[in-house]
């Protein structure tokens, strides 16, 4: 028999009440679900971006840095998409702000932000991460909201 706490002798009614409400046997702790690395909306945007990125690079085969920057060494094929306004919110899937670049071109943009702004490869100061408030942005938000519904209808 286990030894009882001293207060159970001093307050027998409270101790009896407490014994009735306590579980007889402690159950094993529940296994926790791991925290998702990306939200549902984040997964939808990534899925849309993968498709748009490939389509964009098929239509825009040459690095914009190599085409428009006069001291670029040579013409290169575009292998990456540079986001001239960032990737926040709907900007990640807004093709108006996509720039086709090569690996070397992307590095050049990051090393020379002032020259990249003059060439139109980066947005003006204060516009980074800000999607314009217009019908295109509203359409992209609507597309994200309806993406899961459209996929369910296709199955």
Q: What is the pTM of this model?
A: 0.69
Contact yes or no for 4/19 (Cβ under 8 A): no
Q: Is residue 98 part of a domain?
A: yes
Structural domain includes residue 92: yes
- 26 within domain boundaries: no
Is 17 contained in some domain?
A: no
Tally of domains in the chain: 1
For residue 84, what are the domain limits? 40-146
Q: Does residue 23 lie within any of the structural domains?
A: no
In a domain, 96, yes or no: yes
Q: How far is CA 137 from the centre of its chain?
A: 17
Q: Could you tell me if residue 28 is inside a domain?
A: no
User: Does 97 map to a domain?
Assistant: yes
Per-residue confidence (pLDDT) for residue 85, from 0 to 100: 94
Please state the φ and ψ torsions of residue 151, each to the nearest 5 degrees.
-70, -40
What would the pLDDT profile of 46-57 be if each residue is shown by its tens digit? Answer: 999 999 999 999
pLDDT digits (tens, 9 = 90+) for 78-113: 999 999 999 998 999 999 999 999 998 999 999 999
Does residue 152 carry a pLDDT above 90?
no
């Amino acid at each position: 028999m286990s030894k009882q706490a001293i207060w159970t002798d001093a307050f027998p009614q409270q101790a009896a009440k407490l014994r009735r409400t306590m579980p007889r046997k402690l159950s094993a702790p529940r296994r926790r679900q791991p925290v998702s690395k990306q939200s549902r909306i984040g997964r939808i945007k990534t899925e849309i971006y993968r498709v748009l990125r490939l389509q964009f690079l098929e239509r825009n085969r040459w690095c914009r840095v190599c085409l428009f920057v006069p001291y670029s060494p040579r013409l290169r094929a575009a292998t990456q998409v540079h986001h001239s306004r960032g990737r926040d919110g709907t900007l990640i899937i807004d093709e108006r702000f996509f720039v086709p670049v090569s690996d070397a071109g992307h590095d050049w943009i990051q090393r020379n932000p002032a020259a990249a702004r003059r060439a139109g490869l980066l947005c003006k100061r204060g516009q980074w991460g800000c999607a314009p408030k217009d019908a295109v942005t509203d359409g992209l938000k609507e597309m994200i909201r309806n993406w899961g519904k459209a996929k369910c209808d296709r199955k």
